Amino acid sequence: MPTISREQFEQVVDELAAANDLNTSKLAKRLGVSRAWLYDNFPEVRDLSRQSCSEDDVIVEIERMRAERPYDRFTVEEVSERLGIVRQTFSRNFKHLYDYLNPDKEIFSPSSPEQSLLAQVKDLENRIKKLTDERESELSRKEDEIFSTLMRKDAEEFESIRASSSIKRLQDQAEDQAQIARQKTKEVANLRLEIAKLKANETQGGCEILNHIKPDYFPISVTKDVSLKNIIKLFNESEKRNLSLAEEIIVDQRPDYVIFFQPYLACDRSSIPALPMSGSAIIVESNVFRNEIRNEFVKSIRGAPIIALYAQTTLAKTKMFARGAKSPFSAEFIEKLHVNIMPPILDDGFSAVMSFDPEGFL
């Protein structure tokens, strides 16, 4: 157990601050301790880079950046600089907004209540057009019948009746449909506020989910070297960054449980079979299949019990899910991962281990 006096701690803080290089990682490295040890023994380090910034501020800033550069994918560093915060603050508090850095990612997912209402509005518009076309066709047909029977006698009177009655009824119906559409649009605006509130305090099965941390495989999707060796290297680097970030967030948010979720590219969070009935939890999603990376993470977590959940399915189902989810991984990589999976066990330091089939619990 390291022994560091407050005088030593304050001296290193002053030196790093003077060099404009003060952050938790650098401080821990200079002192030769882990960040977890540093947070436990000198809790004031939590405030070194903490700045005020809301989720609404982040979304508004991303929308501004999209207006300036509609086809670019933004980095965490770029958005953080625009917001006037450090990268670690963004990663710790706004991990769930990472998808919005992609230019073709909608602010709300296609399955959100907002999109459902927008679809209803679009359907109403189509119905108005269809009704208008049908009425026009019916009126035209009736007009031809009447003109044929009466030898086009009193054509001006018919046109007057047609304009004052049939068209008026059609316009009234169209206005009613338009009013419904406007009402639906107002409901969409109200849902925006409700969705934002729900995202800020998401719960599942009685357990409050404080955070869901998952790896960012973007470097794999843009690399020009698609050899299996390079893809495995980028994969392991992404997993290590993800688990390092998770360690910081767990120390900062102090959940009652840590859910170590390993889908192995075969499913997503919606397939999680069960969560604790109460308390708070952080879900750490990881596809890492090397024991040493996983065990290093487990050893770094103290205080909260860690529950391991891992997917157990066939290679064919995994490939099918990966294709549907537009995974950046090749079939060759998925086969290698599937063959080399080393599932978590209790001896690895987990409080509980559970496997599940994404299409039915084992």
Asked if the structure places residue 78 within a domain, the reply is: yes
Q: Are 137 and 252 in the same domain?
A: no
Total of domains in the chain? 4
Name the CA dihedral angle for 156, 157, 159, 164, rounded to a multiple of 10 degrees.
Answer: 140
**Residue 65 identity (one-letter amino acid):** M
pLDDT digits (tens, 9 = 90+) for 135-155: 888 888 887 787 677 767 766
Q: Are 250 and 303 in the same domain?
A: yes
Secondary structure of the chain in HEC code, one letter for each residue: CCCCCHHHHHHHHHHHHHCCCCCHHHHHHHHCCCHHHHHHHCHHHHHCCCCCCCHHHHHHHHHHHHHHCCCCCCCHHHHHHHHCCCHHHHHHHCHHHHHHHCCCCCCCCCCCHHHHHHHHHHHHHHHHHHHHHHHHHHHHHHHHHHHHHCCCCCHHHHHHHHHHHHHHHHHHHHHHHHHHHHHHHHHHHHHHHHHHHHHHCCEECCEEEEEEECCCCHHHHHCCCCCHHHHHHHHHHHHHHHHHHHHHHHHHHCCCEEEEEECCCCCCHHHCCCCCCCCEEEEEECCCCCHHHHHHHHHHCCCCCEEEEEECCCHHHHHHHHHHCCCCCCHHHHHHHHHHCCCCCHHHCCCEEEEEECCECC
Q: Are 209 and 351 in the same domain?
A: yes
Q: Are 258 and 174 in the same domain?
A: no
Name the CA dihedral angle for 206, 209, 214, 216, rounded to a multiple of 10 degrees.
Answer: 130
Tell me how far CA of residue 355 lies from CA of 31, 91, 308, in angstroms. 40, 29, 8
Q: Are 60 and 180 in the same domain?
A: no
pLDDT at 308: 94
Asked if the structure places residue 222 within a domain, the reply is: yes
pLDDT at 289: 81
In angstroms, rounded to a whole number, what is the distance separating the alpha carbons of residues 256 and 304?
A: 5
Count of beta carbons in the 10 Å neighbourhood of residue 283: 22
pLDDT at 158: 63
Would you state the structure tokens that stand for residue 27, as one six-digit string? 């401080």
pLDDT at 131: 87
Domain residues for the domain of 40 are 6-47
pLDDT digits (tens, 9 = 90+) for 161-194: 666 777 778 888 878 887 887 777 667 656 655 6
The answer to pTM > 0.75 is no
Q: Among 200, 223, 244, which residue terminates a domain?
A: 200
**Residue 240, CB-side half-sphere exposure with 13 Å CA sphere:** 10
Q: Are 156 and 241 in the same domain?
A: no
Report the side by side order of strands in the sheet with 207-213. Answer: 203-204, 207-213, 280-285, 257-262, 306-311, 352-356
**Residue 347 identity (one-letter amino acid):** D
In angstroms, rounded to a whole number, what is the distance separating the alpha carbons of residues 189 and 194?
A: 9
Tell me how far CA of residue 230 lies from CA of 85, 237, 292, 319, 324, in angstroms. 33, 11, 19, 20, 24
Would you state the structure tokens that stand for residue 285, as one six-digit string? 């999603």
Asked if the structure places residue 106 within a domain, the reply is: no
Q: Are 194 and 166 in the same domain?
A: yes
pLDDT at 234: 92
Asked if the structure places residue 273 within a domain, the reply is: yes
Q: Are 73 and 88 in the same domain?
A: yes
Q: Are 218 and 277 in the same domain?
A: yes
pLDDT at 55: 85
What does pLDDT average to in each consecutive run of 10 residues of the chain (362 residues)? 84 81 77 84 67 75 90 88 73 86 70 58 82 86 78 69 74 82 68 52 69 93 92 92 93 94 91 89 92 89 90 88 85 89 90 84 42
